[in-house]
Amino acid sequence: MVAVEQAERPFVPLDIAVLTISDTRTLADDRSGTTLADRIAAAGHHLADRAIVPDDVDAIRARVKGWIDDPGVDVVITTGGTGFTGRDVTPEAVEPLFEKRMEGFSTVFHMVSFGKIGTSTLQSRATAGVANATYIFCLPGSPGACRDGWDEILVHQLDVRHRPCNFVEILPRLDEHLKRAKAKAPTSPGATI
């Protein structure tokens, strides 16, 4: 399915934080984090923060929790630690923070990935959810997976002009039970997810 954009709606830039999970990478050689940061900026969003933490449940959870508690962060994207080795613990660290799990993200990510790498997509536990009115997306650690996740899914769903619906227009309603909205996005009548 081809993304449909609606040019007459004004773009709403989001504040997006990027977390690389790796025992070995630094900012100088973090190609996956750079891939995401470059695409975030190119799309017109703001890189709210960027960090690298080791493959450690407590370190990952603390960094993500800090961002979801920050009203200046709308979206968190992680890269790395979604495989099956003993050090791959990103889902274990992040999923307990979810108030709502986004089952469809993993499904769509695997559909996109299958077209590129075939059945090797089974080796990813890409996941996503919502916590404290913040979207959280956990991507694999390869630059290719980050490109696929951003170019095929996130660039569209994080653009208020995308039709028939997108994550931006419902962002102010994620925490309506708390009566405080983090971001202001135009809403369209009848838009539901």
Q: How many domains, the chain? A: 1
Q: Is residue 184 part of a domain?
A: no
| Residue ranges for the chain with pLDDT beneath 50 | 1-2, 6, 180-181, 188-193
Token pair, residue 118, equals 């075939």
**Which residue is listed with tokens 């227009």?**
169
Beta bridge partners of 180: none
Q: Which amino acid type is present at position 14?
A: L
Q: Is residue 182 part of a domain?
A: no
Q: Is residue 16 part of a domain?
A: yes
Judge contact between 11 and 155, C-beta under 8 A. no
Q: Is residue 190 part of a domain?
A: no
Tell me the CA distances in angstroms from 30 to 22, 24, 142, 145, one per residue in order.
Answer: 9, 9, 10, 14
Q: Is residue 3 part of a domain?
A: no
Q: Provide the pLDDT for residue 178.
A: 63
Tell me the CA distances in angstroms from 112 to 31, 36, 76, one per residue in order.
Answer: 20, 17, 21
Q: Provide the pLDDT for residue 76.
A: 98
For 122, the domain range is 8-171
Q: Is residue 193 part of a domain?
A: no
Dist CA 127 CA 130 (whole Å):
11
Q: Provide the pLDDT for residue 1.
A: 46
Judge contact between 15 and 73, C-beta under 8 A. yes
Q: Is residue 85 part of a domain?
A: yes
Q: Provide the pLDDT for residue 9.
A: 86
pLDDT digits (tens, 9 = 90+) for 125-143: 999 999 999 999 999 999 9
Judge contact between 160 and 11, C-beta under 8 A. yes
Q: Provide the pLDDT for residue 182.
A: 52
Q: Provide the pLDDT for residue 149.
A: 98
- CATH at residue 75: 3.40.980.10
Q: Provide the pLDDT for residue 175.
A: 81
Dist CA 185 CA 107 (whole Å):
26
pLDDT digits (tens, 9 = 90+) for 164-191: 999 999 998 988 766 544 555 555 444 4
Q: Is residue 140 part of a domain?
A: yes
